[in-house]
Amino acid sequence: MLDTAAIEVENVSITFDGVRALDRCTLRVEKGESLGIIGPNGSGKTTLLNVINGYYRPEDGRVMIFGRRIDGLPPHRISRMGVGRVFQVTNVFKNMTVLENIMAQGVWMKERKNLRSRALEIMDLVGLPRNLKDELAGNVSGGQQKLVDIARALLPQPEILMLDEPVAGIHPIIKEKIIEVVDRLRRDGKTLMVVSHDIPSILRMVDRLAFMNAGSILMVGDPDEVRRSSKVVEAYLGV
């Protein structure tokens, strides 16, 4: 019997106002694998994540999580299946406290009592000082907001986590922290998809690298191999 992958994207296409954002895109992410996605702006990286998280319904093709078909399910259902998401633009509930931000992810969880202590543990895990817990999330620094965002996504211990530009525009110290957290998740056997333009950082977070251009995956493989490929250099740098 074939082992099911964590994420399978098969021939997925989607069009926005005549622009083909994903064009028969196919990708397979194994359980416990950390896959990086690089590619020029507008190549469809974020769209691909949005399709997997359920924000867009593909026009064509199918998406499976652990062998279960999910395209067409609403985002909250996919989230409850254990697929977390950290957005490119740092996304926090600005008028809620840091702790409430993290706990919001647990609204639907069965576990009733330990939510608060779990949220505090996750704050420690991502390196958010506990004295920030009662601050409004909109008032903490940009880097800390990113940590809040990641902590929120981690609360239900998702098996799969999608990170869109987790380190872009982040202060070096917090950036280092984020890379450490992602690397730890990888070593814990979580399945990760990381989108980034920051090549040195992404190499520290992933096992394999995929290169995307014009809505499809052109190449997947060992990070060094992908980076040196002439196809990638040509599409990325335009030479």
Q: How many residues bind other proteins (CB under 8 A)?
A: 36
- Nearest approach, Cβ of residue 59 and other proteins (Å): 21
- Nearest approach, Cβ of residue 80 and other proteins (Å): 5
- Nearest approach, Cβ of residue 78 and other proteins (Å): 9
Q: Is 210 in the site for other proteins (CB under 8 A)?
A: no
- Based on CB atoms, which residue is closest to other proteins, 24 or 133? 133
Q: Is 156 in the site for other proteins (CB under 8 A)?
A: yes
Q: Is 53 in the site for other proteins (CB under 8 A)?
A: yes
- Nearest approach, Cβ of residue 148 and other proteins (Å): 11
- Nearest approach, Cβ of residue 113 and other proteins (Å): 12
Site pattern 87..126 for other proteins (x: CB under 8 A): x---xxxxxxxxxx--xxxxxxx-----xx----------
Q: What is the 3-state secondary structure (H, E, C) of the chain?
A: CCCCCCEEEEEEEEEECCEEEEEEEEEEECCCCEEEEECCCCCCHHHHHHHHCCCCCCCEEEEEECCEECCCCCHHHHHHCCEEEECCCCCCCCCCEHHHHHHHCCCCCCCCCCHHHHHHHHHHHHCCCHHHCCCEHHHCCHHHHHHHHHHHHHCCCCCEEEEECCCCCCCHHHHHHHHHHHHHHHHCCCEEEEECCCHHHHHCCCCEEEEEECCEEEEEECHHHHHHCHHHHHHHHCC
Q: Is 166 in the site for other proteins (CB under 8 A)?
A: no
**Positions in the binding site for other proteins (CB under 8 A):** 53, 55, 74-76, 79-80, 84-85, 87, 91-100, 103-109, 115-116, 133-136, 152-153, 156
